[in-house]
Amino acid sequence: MRIAPVALIAKRELISYFTTPIAYVFLTIFLALNGVFGFYLGNFIARDQADLDAFFQFHPWLYLVLIPALSMRLWAEERRSGSLELLLTLPVSTAECVLGKFLAAWSFTLLALAGTLPMWVTVNYLGQPDNGAIAAAYVGSFLLAGAILAVGCCLSAVTKNQVVAFIATAVVCLAVMLLGFHVVIDTIEGMLPSMLVDVITTQSFFMHFNSIRRGVVSGPDLLFFLTTIVFWLYANVVVIEYKKSD
């Protein structure tokens, strides 16, 4: 894996967000929904607490809708327009292309997250929040976005249709998210051996994000998100190699 081609592809992809309306639409909706969820649904004012918990608790659901919208075009559009053939006949490997595109999209979500920093500043103005916990929640949110994005990248390579890629990513991520909910755990507990139930439930994005959101970026949570990203990006490479002739 070489850094220069990865950086080149990431740069091209990132610039393409801003030469099309994608970046502006995404950033506007992301920031607007953050405000709506945090202030109204999360009762930020009524809670009278100097933290951003009301704001971060909705991130999984926000990402479930917005990240697939960001990832759906990554490979589906390359396949539909035929530019995949151009890209993969340049002297770059498929893995470098996958990583470059993923990093472009992930850094774009970082930019979107950076757009919420005024809220952190505001909380500090209004009270004395636990800034360590808020920083951890930002890290968790960024990792969660990366994991959903990695799933989206892979599923975007499965189809030439962006809408199909969007729906598939949203559904798969919803399923993985729900694995941490009691209603799911209770349902599968009676059906599967307890060891398997443990393995399945520890795959929940929601559970690991919540664990970090509480203020501790623990090794297992970090490892979970990073291995999830690596796994889905590897699957992305395999899918491209398998589907490119279609």
Q: Which residues bind other proteins (CB under 8 A)?
A: 5, 8-9, 12, 15-16, 19-20, 81-86, 88-93, 244-245
Distance of closest approach, residue 97 Cβ to other proteins, in angstroms: 10
In terms of CB distance, is 32 or 86 closer to other proteins?
Answer: 86
In terms of CB distance, is 77 or 178 closer to other proteins?
Answer: 77
In terms of CB distance, is 231 or 244 closer to other proteins?
Answer: 244
Contacts 24+ apart (CB under 8 A), 168-176: 169/67, 169/68, 169/71, 169/72, 170/64, 170/65, 170/68, 173/63, 173/64, 173/67, 173/68, 173/148, 173/205, 174/64, 176/151, 176/203, 176/204, 176/205
Sign of CA dihedral 121, 125, 131, 133: negative
In terms of CB distance, is 64 or 87 closer to other proteins?
Answer: 87
Distance of closest approach, residue 96 Cβ to other proteins, in angstroms: 9
Instruction: Give yes or no for a contact between 50 and 129, defined as CB atoms under 8 angstroms apart.
Output: yes
Distance CA 89, CA 84 (A): 8
Distance of closest approach, residue 58 Cβ to other proteins, in angstroms: 32
In terms of CB distance, is 16 or 49 closer to other proteins?
Answer: 16
In terms of CB distance, is 16 or 203 closer to other proteins?
Answer: 16
Distance of closest approach, residue 244 Cβ to other proteins, in angstroms: 7
Distance CA 62, CA 33 (A): 8
In terms of CB distance, is 5 or 60 closer to other proteins?
Answer: 5
Distance of closest approach, residue 19 Cβ to other proteins, in angstroms: 5
Distance of closest approach, residue 78 Cβ to other proteins, in angstroms: 9
Phi/psi of residue 25, nearest 5 degrees: -65, -45
DSSP characters for 102-163?
A: HHHHHHHHHHHHHTTHHHHHHHHHHS---HHHHHHHHHHHHHHHHHHHHHHHHHHTT-S-HH
Distance CA 42, CA 5 (A): 43
Q: Beta-carbon neighbour count of residue 43 at 10 Å?
A: 12
Distance of closest approach, residue 4 Cβ to other proteins, in angstroms: 8
